[in-house]
Amino acid sequence: MTTIKLLAGLATGAILTASTALAQGYPDRQITMVVPFAAGGPTDTVGRLIAERMSADLGQQIIVENVGGAGGTLGAGQVAGAEADGYTILLHHIGMATSATLYRSLPYSPQEAFDYVGLVTEVPMTIVARKDFEPADFAALVTYVKENADTITMANAGIGAASHLCGMLFMQAVEAPIVTVPYKGTGPAMTELLGGQIDIMCDQTTNTAEQIKGGTIKGYAVTTPARLDIFPDLPTVAEGGFANMEVSVWHGLYAPKGTPPEALARLTQSLQSALADPGIAEKLAELGTAPSPATDATPEALKAKLDAEIARWKPVIEAAGVYAD
């Protein structure tokens, strides 16, 4: 019996020693942050900002790898199947929640295939159009869309993308089925909008702010409860009578399920440090958003957000009857 207790004690000691070594030694090499969307898009912009600051804090470089396709599920699936050692992480947005319903044969569970690091930011959406689009303001846009729905084209970054979800809410709100044109990312979609090949789009301020300010596209409304400081003249969708259109694109940082707790804790600590950097706040403010506070940049807050958003979007998607598979 004494021998068994001794062996058990030695085993426990070995585990604690290994755990301590990991906590002290992690990370000791490069980390890959998978962004499941095209380079140059709004989520990529957020990812690269965070990766730069976290790299400095961790003392190891975080390389951003863009794995676009299938509304973000290809990149998420890649991380779900990666080795759970803390060296592969995922930056995903609201699509992590909506994919649970949009994809009826999703090869992984958004709620069970990942460990949580923390929330990163919540980005407002804007309803925008080519710069020479006829309607003068949001009220005129709603009227115009209702009268000309079959002649208007609306861009999105593919089924399940934030731009698609926001566009779907807009069409439901105005009760007009607009012709939608999917692209492989909001970068290509914005190019087409700038060129006048597409009429309207609903997209994150991280992708539209500079274009609206520069007058290269026309801004109509924001999807936040209150007007944004960077666009004081743009009304909210609620002001136009569509409070049910309020939506933000929240971003969270994840790791494969089974990642060592010590690695997760270090990543959360690094994320909070990055989000507290005044330089990050300044750059995000220029894009119409802000870093998540430390109370939200936690595994518990991200899990609660994901669970709540899955519950929110499930009936919306089922009512629309639009699925990605």
- List, for residues 179-207, the tens digit of each pLDDT value: 999 987 788 899 999 999 999 999 989 88
Domains 29-122+249-320 and 124-245 in one fold: yes
Number of Cβ within a 10 Å radius of residue 28: 10
Tokens matching residue 281: 């706040």
Contact 33, 65 (CB under 8 A): yes
Architecture of the 124-245 domain: 3-Layer(aba) Sandwich (3.40)
pLDDT of residue 135: 97
CA neighbor of 49 nearest in space, from 259, 222, 206, 184: 206
- Give me the residue label for tokens 């730069």: 52
What's the pTM value of the predicted model, to 2 decimals? Answer: 0.80
Half-sphere exposure of 303 (CA within 13 A, CB side): 12
Q: Model confidence over 96-154: pLDDT tens digits?
A: 999 999 999 999 999 999 999 999 999 899 999 999 999 999 999 999 999 999 999 99
Element (H, E) at 234: none
* pLDDT exceeds cutoff 90 at 165: no
Element (H, E) at 34: strand 31-35
Q: Give the integer Cα–Cα distance in Å for 42 and 48.
A: 10
- Give me the residue label for tokens 């049910």: 244
CATH 3.40.190.150 fits domain 29-122+249-320: yes
SS3 38: coil
Longest dimension (CA), the chain: 86
pLDDT band at residue 24 under the 50/70/90 scheme: low
Helix ranges, 240-298 (H): 261-275, 278-286
Domain extents for the chain?
29-122+249-320, 124-245
